[in-house]
C-alpha cells in the first residue's frame, strides 16, 4: 500500500515527508514570496517617501503568516498586530489594498482611516490589527466564545510577539481561554526582540510563551517558525483540537525579523553577525530549496516569482495613480448610523 | 404596574432582553451563580442557564475584550464591571478598542455591546470604590453613555442599550439600588439620547444625573415651599448622545442654569453642558450658569466626610437661592 511518504518525489532515503502535498506546497511558497515582495516594496516606497506614517515589516517572518493562513479555511478569523501586513495579505487581501492603505490613498483597505497598524478586512476573515500590545488576545477569546456559543466551527487565530507575553492581557486571555475551553489559537512569533530590547533580558525563563503554557494547563509547543511546513502542520493540529472542542493552544514560533522594529529603526542594537546567521535560515530561501528537493523545476519557480512580482508591480502603479481619500469621510462611521453625531 | 427596586429593575431589563434575543449573553465576576456583588442580577442564571449567564475570572481586560470579540462576530453581550472605578484597569477597551474599531476599519467592524457597572458614592467605601466616572467615558468619541436614576428608566434604557448597535457604557448608581418606583408590566423600551423633564418650572433649570436627580428634586421642592422659587428639573439620563435640545429649550424659558454633578469638579459633564449653553444660549441667560459638584478631591471613606463632599439637597438649595438672590 502506498502512503503519502512513499509517494514523496524526494531522493530515495531522503526521508522527505509529503504529507503537505504538491498543491499546498506551491501555495505555501507562493504566499511567502508574495509577502516578501509586497513588504520589500513597502520598504522601497518609504525610501521614496510614498509610504507615510509608521510601518512594521515582517521580513524574515513570512513562514508563520503563510503557514497559518494556508491551514485556515474560509470563516476562520485572524487577529493581528500592528505588524500585520503579512497576516492580512496571507488571507488573500489584494496587495493593492494593503499598499494603498500604507500610502494613505483612497484605494486603501480602510481608505486611509486606519493606517498601516490597523489593517482590517472582515470579508477575508481579518478581524483587525491591534496596536495596543496584547489587546487583541481577549478579543480573539470573545470571537471564539461566539463560535462555542453558537456551535460554529471556525477558529480564531491570534498573532503577537514575544514581548507581548509580558503584558497582563496575555495572561488574562490565556487563563480565560483555557478555563472556558475556547476554540482560539494563540501564536507567539518570537523574533527575539520586543522593540529594541532582547526578550531574554525581560523574562525569567528561556522561552517567553512555551515556558508559560503549563501555567494554563496547555501543552508546551515550540517550533521552527521559519519552516512553513512545520508551521502548517502545527497549525492544522491546533485547529483540529479547537474545532473538536478541546480548547485553546499556545504556539511559540522561533523566527527573526530582518528589518528594524519599525520604519524608524536601523536595528543597531543587534550583535554583529546575528542577522547574517539568521539569513542563512531565511524562510523563503529554505522553502525554495525544499521545492527543488521535491522536484519542482526552476522554470516553475520562476513562473510563480514572476506572477507575484506582477501583482506587486501592478499594485504599486495602481496606488501611485490612486487619489487621496476625500475629506468628507473624516466624520463617517464613528457610530453605527454612519455619522458622528453625539448630540441633537 | 408594580413597585420594584432599582436593583430588581436591572435584572428585569436584562431578562427582558435575554428572553427576546438569544444573541444576548451576560458575563462578569460573580454575576451568575452568586447573582452579583450588589445582587442586581439574581435569578438570571437560573432563568437563562450557565451558557448564557457566565461567571468569569477576575480579569477585567478579558471580560471586556471577550465582550468585544463576541460583539464583533454577532452576539450582543452585556458585560459587568463590578465597580466603575475598575474601568481604569480595562480602560484600553473603553478608550481604544470599542470606540475606534468601526472608524478605523472604515465601517467594517461593529461593536454592539453594553458594559454595565456600579457607579457613585454613598456606601462609605472610600476613594477606589465610590467614584462617579461617567465623565471618563463621555470624553471618548464612539461610545454612548447612560446613567438612569429610576427603576423604569433602568429597564427602558437597558433595553435601548442592548438593542443599540454601538458600544454603550451603562452606569448604575450604587446608592439607588434600594430605591423604588412604579414600573408598568410588559415590555419597556426607552430611547437613548433623551433627557426627561421631571418637574416643570419657570425660574431656573437644574440639570442632574443619577443619584443627583432625587437630590435635585428634593431641593426644588424645598425652594418652592421655603422661597417660592419654581425650578425645572431635568434628568439628563444619557450623556452621549446628549439631548441638548431639551436643555436649551428649558434655559430659553427659565433663563438660569444649574448643573448638579457627583463627579469631581474638573472636566465634569456639567462643564460641557455649561459650555454648550454659553455658546448657543448666552443671551437667554439672566445670570451665570452655576455648577454644583463634588470638590476636586479623592472621596473620603468616613460617612460624615462623604456626606459633606457630595452635593446635598441642602447645598443645592442654598446655592440656587443665593444665585437667584432671594
Ligand atoms: C501597551 C503598549 N505598550 C507599548 C507599546 C509600544 N510597542 C509597540 S510594539 C512594541 C514591541 C512589541 O514586541 P513584540 O511583542 O515582541 O512584537 P514584535 O514587534 O517583535 O513583533 C512596543 C513596546 C504598545 N504599542 N502598546
Ligand atoms: Mg518581538
Query: Which residues in chain B have their CB less than 8 angstroms from residue A344's CB?
Result: 193, 241-245
What pLDDT shows up at residue A13? 53
Please identify, among B153, B183, B213, the residue that sits at the C-terminal boundary of a domain.
B183
Residue contact B73–A77, C-beta within 8 A: yes
Q: Is residue B173 among the annotated active site residues?
A: no
Whether B150 has a pLDDT exceeding 70, the answer reads yes
The CATH number of the domain holding residue B276 is: 3.40.50.920
Residue contact A172–B109, C-beta within 8 A: no
* H or E segment to which residue A222 belongs: strand A221-224
Q: Do B134 and B203 share a structural domain?
A: no
Query: Which residues in chain A have their CB less than 8 angstroms from residue B272's CB?
Result: none
Q: Do B79 and B215 share a structural domain?
A: no
Please give the distance of CA A269 from its chain centroid, rounded to a whole number: 24
- Partner B contacted by A176 (CB < 8 A): yes
Compute the distance from residue A140 Cα to the ligand 2 centre, in Å.
Answer: 20
Interface of A with B in 74-133 (CB under 8 A): 77, 109-111, 113-115, 118, 120-122, 127-128, 130, 132
What pLDDT shows up at residue A8? 40
Residue contact A179–B25, C-beta within 8 A: no
Interface of A with B in 223-282 (CB under 8 A): none
The CATH number of the domain holding residue B130 is: 3.40.50.970
**Domains in chain B, number:** 2
Q: Do B280 and B249 share a structural domain?
A: yes
Atom of ligand 1 nearest to the CA of A132: 26
Question: Which residues make Cβ contacts (< 8 Å) with residue B190, sequence separation at least 6?
Answer: B153, B155, B156, B157, B159, B160
Kindly state whether residue B19 falls inside one of the protein's structural domains: yes
Compute the distance from residue A197 Cα to the ligand 2 centre, in Å.
Answer: 9
What pLDDT shows up at residue A342? 98
Beta bridge partners of B197: B234
Kindly state whether residue B223 falls inside one of the protein's structural domains: yes
Q: Do B200 and B117 share a structural domain?
A: no
Interface of B with A in 154-193 (CB under 8 A): 164-166, 193
- Partner A contacted by B104 (CB < 8 A): yes
Measure in Å the smallest separation between the Cα of B202 and chain A Cα atoms. Answer: 23
Whether B88 has a pLDDT exceeding 50, the answer reads yes
- Our answer on whether the CB atom of A195 is closer than 6 Å to any ligand 1 atom is yes
Atom of ligand 1 nearest to the CA of A81: 21
- Whole domain around residue B146: which residue ranges? 2-183
Q: Do B222 and B152 share a structural domain?
A: no
Compute the distance from residue A36 Cα to the ligand 2 centre, in Å.
Answer: 18
Domains of chain A by residue range: 4-320
- What are the pLDDT digits (tens) for A189-218? 999 999 999 999 999 999 999 999 999 999
Beta bridge partners of B205: B232, B257
- Our answer on whether the CB atom of A83 is closer than 6 Å to any ligand 1 atom is yes
Q: Do B228 and B313 share a structural domain?
A: yes
- Buried b / exposed e over A242-273, threshold 16 CB at 10 Å, is bbeeebbbbbbbbbbbbbbbbbebeeeebeee
Q: Do B11 and B143 share a structural domain?
A: yes
Please identify, among B183, B215, B250, the residue that sits at the C-terminal boundary of a domain.
B183
- Our answer on whether the CB atom of A132 is closer than 6 Å to any ligand 1 atom is yes
Kindly state whether residue B151 falls inside one of the protein's structural domains: yes
What pLDDT shows up at residue B112? 98
**Three-state SS at B309:** helix
Residue contact A176–B97, C-beta within 8 A: no
Compute the distance from residue B93 Cα to the ligand 1 centre, in Å.
Answer: 17
| Mean pLDDT rounded to a whole number for chain B | 98
Residue contact B109–A120, C-beta within 8 A: yes
For chain B, the C-alpha Rg in angstroms (whole number) is: 19
The pTM of this model reads 0.97
Question: Which residues make Cβ contacts (< 8 Å) with residue A313, sequence separation at least 6?
Answer: none
- What are the pLDDT digits (tens) for A277-290? 999 999 999 999 99
Cell digits for A339? 455619522
Q: Do B313 and B257 share a structural domain?
A: yes
Kindly state whether residue B166 falls inside one of the protein's structural domains: yes
Mutation pick for ligand 1 pocket among A194, A208, A263 (CB with most ligand atoms within 8 Å): A194
Interface of B with A in 38-57 (CB under 8 A): 51-52, 54, 56-57
Residue contact B65–A144, C-beta within 8 A: no
Scanning B78-234, the segments in alpha helix (DSSP H) are: 91-92, 98-104, 134-138, 151-163, 212-227
Q: Do B130 and B222 share a structural domain?
A: no
Residue contact A130–B242, C-beta within 8 A: no
- What are the pLDDT digits (tens) for B197-207? 999 999 999 99
Q: Which CATH number fits domain A4-320: 2.60.120.260, 3.40.50.720, 3.10.129.10, 3.40.50.970?
A: 3.40.50.970
Quick check: bond before B241 cis, omega within 30? yes
Between A141, A173, A333, which is nearest B106 by CB?
A333
Q: Do B157 and B201 share a structural domain?
A: no
Query: Which residues in chain B have their CB less than 8 angstroms from residue A147's CB?
Result: 73
Q: Do B48 and B160 share a structural domain?
A: yes
CB A58 within 8 A of CB A83: yes
> pLDDT in tens for each of the 344 residues of chain A?
333 343 344 444 556 678 999 999 999 999 999 999 999 999 999 999 999 888 999 999 999 999 999 999 999 999 999 999 999 999 999 999 999 999 999 999 999 999 999 999 999 999 999 999 999 999 999 999 999 999 999 999 999 999 999 999 999 999 999 999 999 999 999 999 999 999 999 999 999 999 999 999 999 999 999 999 999 999 999 999 999 999 999 999 999 999 999 988 999 999 999 999 999 999 999 999 999 999 999 999 999 999 999 999 999 999 999 999 999 999 999 999 999 999 99
**Three-state SS at B255:** coil
Kindly state whether residue B114 falls inside one of the protein's structural domains: yes
Please identify, among B183, B216, B242, the residue that sits at the C-terminal boundary of a domain.
B183
Between A139, A144, A344, which is nearest B97 by CB?
A139
pLDDT band at B115 (very low <50, low <70, confident <90, very high): very high
CB A98 within 8 A of CB A118: no
Beta bridge partners of B145: B169, B240
Q: Do B205 and B176 share a structural domain?
A: no
- Partner A contacted by B102 (CB < 8 A): yes
- Partner A contacted by B108 (CB < 8 A): yes
HSE of B106, CA atoms in CB hemisphere, 13 A? 21
Amino acid at each position: 500500500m502506498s502512503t503519502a511518504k512513499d509517494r514523496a518525489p524526494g531522493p530515495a532515503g531522503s526521508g522527505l515527508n509529503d504529507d503537505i502535498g504538491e498543491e499546498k506546497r506551491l501555495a505555501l511558497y507562493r504566499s511567502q514570496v508574495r509577502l516578501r515582495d509586497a513588504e520589500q516594496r513597502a520598504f522601497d516606497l518609504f525610501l521614496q517617501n510614498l509610504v507615510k506614517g509608521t510601518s512594521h515589516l515582517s521580513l524574515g517572518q513570512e513562514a508563520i503568516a503563510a503557514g497559518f493562513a494556508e491551514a485556515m479555511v474560509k470563516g476562520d478569523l485572524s487577529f493581528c498586530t500592528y505588524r500585520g501586513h503579512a497576516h492580512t495579505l496571507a488571507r488573500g487581501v489584494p496587495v493593492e489594498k494593503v499598499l494603498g492603505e500604507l500610502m494613505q490613498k483612497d484605494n486603501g483597505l480602510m481608505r486611509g482611516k486606519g493606517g498601516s497598524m490597523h489593517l482590517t478586512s472582515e470579508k477575508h476573515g481579518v478581524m483587525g490589527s491591534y496596536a495596543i500590545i496584547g489587546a487583541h488576545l481577549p478579543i480573539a477569546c470573545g470571537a471564539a466564545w461566539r463560535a462555542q456559543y453558537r456551535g460554529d466551527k471556525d477558529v480564531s487565530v491570534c498573532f503577537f510577539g514575544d514581548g507581548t507575553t509580558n503584558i497582563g492581557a496575555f495572561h488574562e486571555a490565556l487563563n480565560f481561554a483555557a478555563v472556558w475551553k475556547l476554540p482560539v489559537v494563540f501564536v507567539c512569533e518570537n523574533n527575539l526582540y520586543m522593540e529594541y530590547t532582547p526578550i531574554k533580558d525581560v523574562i525569567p525563563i528561556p522561552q517567553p510563551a512555551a515556558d508559560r503554557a503549563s501555567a494554563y494547563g496547555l501543552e508546551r509547543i515550540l517550533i521552527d517558525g521559519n519552516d512553513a511546513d512545520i508551521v502548517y502542520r502545527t497549525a492544522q493540529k491546533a485547529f483540529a483540537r479547537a474545532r473538536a472542542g478541546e480548547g485553546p493552544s499556545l504556539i511559540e514560533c522561533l523566527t527573526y525579523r530582518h528589518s528594524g522594529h519599525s520604519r524608524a529603526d536601523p536595528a543597531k542594537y543587534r550583535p554583529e553577525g546575528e542577522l547574517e546567521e539568521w539569513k542563512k535560515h531565511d524562510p523563503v530561501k529554505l522553502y525554495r530549496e525544499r521545492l527543488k528537493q521535491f522536484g519542482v523545476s526552476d522554470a516553475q519557480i520562476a513562473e510563480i516569482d514572476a506572477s507575484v512580482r506582477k501583482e506587486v508591480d501592478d499594485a504599486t502603479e495602481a496606488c501611485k495613480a490612486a487619489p487621496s481619500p476625500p475629506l468628507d469621510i473624516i466624520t463617517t462611521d464613528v457610530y453605527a448610523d454612519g455619522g458622528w453625531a453625539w448630540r441633537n | 404596574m408594580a413597585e420594584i427596586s432599582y436593583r430588581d429593575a436591572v435584572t428585569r431589563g436584562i431578562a427582558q432582553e435575554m428572553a427576546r434575543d438569544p444573541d444576548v449573553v451576560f458575563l462578569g465576576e460573580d454575576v451568575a451563580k452568586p447573582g452579583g456583588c450588589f445582587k442586581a442580577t439574581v435569578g438570571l442564571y437560573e432563568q437563562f442557564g450557565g451558557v448564557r449567564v457566565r461567571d468569569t475570572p477576575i480579569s477585567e481586560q478579558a471580560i471586556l475584550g471577550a465582550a468585544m470579540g463576541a460583539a464583533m462576530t454577532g452576539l450582543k453581550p452585556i458585560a459587568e464591571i463590578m465597580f466603575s472605578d475598575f474601568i481604569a484597569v480595562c480602560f484600553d477597551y473603553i478608550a481604544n478598542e470599542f470606540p475606534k474599531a468601526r472608524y478605523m476599519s472604515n465601517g467594517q467592524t461593529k461593536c454592539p455591546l453594553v458594559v454595565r457597572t456600579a457607579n457613585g458614592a454613598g456606601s462609605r467605601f472610600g476613594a477606589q470604590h465610590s467614584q462617579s466616572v461617567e465623565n471618563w467615558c463621555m470624553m471618548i468619541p464612539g461610545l454612548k453613555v447612560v446613567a438612569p436614576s429610576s427603576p423604569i428608566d433602568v429597564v427602558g434604557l437597558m433595553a435601548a442599550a442592548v438593542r443599540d448597535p454601538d458600544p454603550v457604557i451603562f452606569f448604575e448608581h450604587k446608592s439607588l439600588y434600594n430605591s423604588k418606583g412604579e414600573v408598568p408590566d410588559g415590555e419597556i423600551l426607552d430611547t437613548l439620547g433623551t433627557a426627561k423633564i421631571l418637574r416643570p418650572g419657570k425660574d431656573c433649570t437644574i440639570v442632574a444625573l443619577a443619584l443627583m436627580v432625587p437630590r435635585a428634586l428634593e431641593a426644588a421642592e424645598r425652594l418652592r415651599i421655603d422661597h417660592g422659587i419654581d425650578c425645572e428639573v431635568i434628568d439628563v439620563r444619557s450623556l452621549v448622545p446628549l439631548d441638548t435640545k431639551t436643555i436649551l429649550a428649558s434655559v430659553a424659558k427659565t433663563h438660569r442654569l444649574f448643573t448638579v454633578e457627583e463627579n469631581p469638579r474638573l472636566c465634569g459633564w456639567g462643564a460641557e453642558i455649561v459650555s454648550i449653553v454659553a455658546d448657543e444660549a448666552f443671551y437667554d441667560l439672566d445670570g451665570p450658569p452655576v455648577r454644583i459638584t463634588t470638590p476636586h478631591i479623592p472621596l473620603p471613606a468616613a460617612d460624615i466626610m462623604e456626606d459633606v463632599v457630595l452635593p446635598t439637597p441642602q447645598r443645592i438649595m442654598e446655592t440656587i437661592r443665593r444665585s437667584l438672590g432671594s
